[in-house]
Structure 1
Amino acid sequence: MTESIGKTNAELTELVNEALGDQPGCETARITGLQPVPGVRGGRNWEIPSVALGDSLISDVDRAVITIHRRLGRTFHLI
């Protein structure tokens, strides 16, 4: 397994928001922040607790958030 890259909360939030805005139907959605998962030191040690939908449909955002967390969670960890 490849080591993930450490990012600050602000850096990772920016990356997640960019990825979310690129998803179909999620152009106006934005996450309001990331939250560390207690007891996990690397990998998917963060979660997305809430999203501001804007004009996006919740079904589009749900799908996108799951996809983004899986993809970016393999690449980046929260420091």
Structure 2
Amino acid sequence: MMTEAKSHDELTRLADDALRAHPGCETARVPAVAALPHSHSDRNWEIPNVVLGDSLISDVDRAVMSIHRQLGRKFHLV
């Protein structure tokens, strides 16, 4: 399956919007995605840090794993 190329800013914005859409994560924020230097999978990026805000870490952790899986199937970082 082919993935669509996204810039660092575009992918960060998509991840941030997706995170805030998850229940309990409305105040959390993705400051940036990071490129993986030597990725052996289709995904060449990760979400290394998240600002929790008033959100519970368990809610944010679950959401980030889901977002990375979903967006990683659609987009790659250029």
TM-score, L = length of structure 1: 0.93
Q: Any conservation in 2 of the 1:34–1:48 contact (CA below 8 Å)?
A: yes
Structure 1 residues 42 and 4, CA gap change in structure 2 (3 angstroms): farther
Q: Any conservation in 2 of the 1:20–1:64 contact (CA below 8 Å)?
A: yes
Matches of 1:50 and 1:32 in 2, distance apart? 7
1:42: Cα distance to partner?
7.5
Matches of 1:35 and 1:42 in 2, distance apart? 15
Alignment length (residue pairs): 78
Amino acid at match of 1:29: A
The sequence identity of aligned pairs, in percent, is: 56
Equivalent in the alignment of 1:29: 28
Matches of 2:36 and 2:72 in 1, distance apart? 12
Higher-strand-fraction structure: 1
> Aligned-residue CA RMSD in angstroms?
1.4
1:40: Cα distance to partner?
2.9
Matches of 2:25 and 2:67 in 1, distance apart? 12
What runs of 5+ residues in structure 1 fail to find an aligned partner? Answer: none
1:32: Cα distance to partner?
1.3
Equivalences for 1:1-79 in 2 at 5 Å? 2-40=1-39, 43-79=42-78
TM-score, L = length of structure 2: 0.94
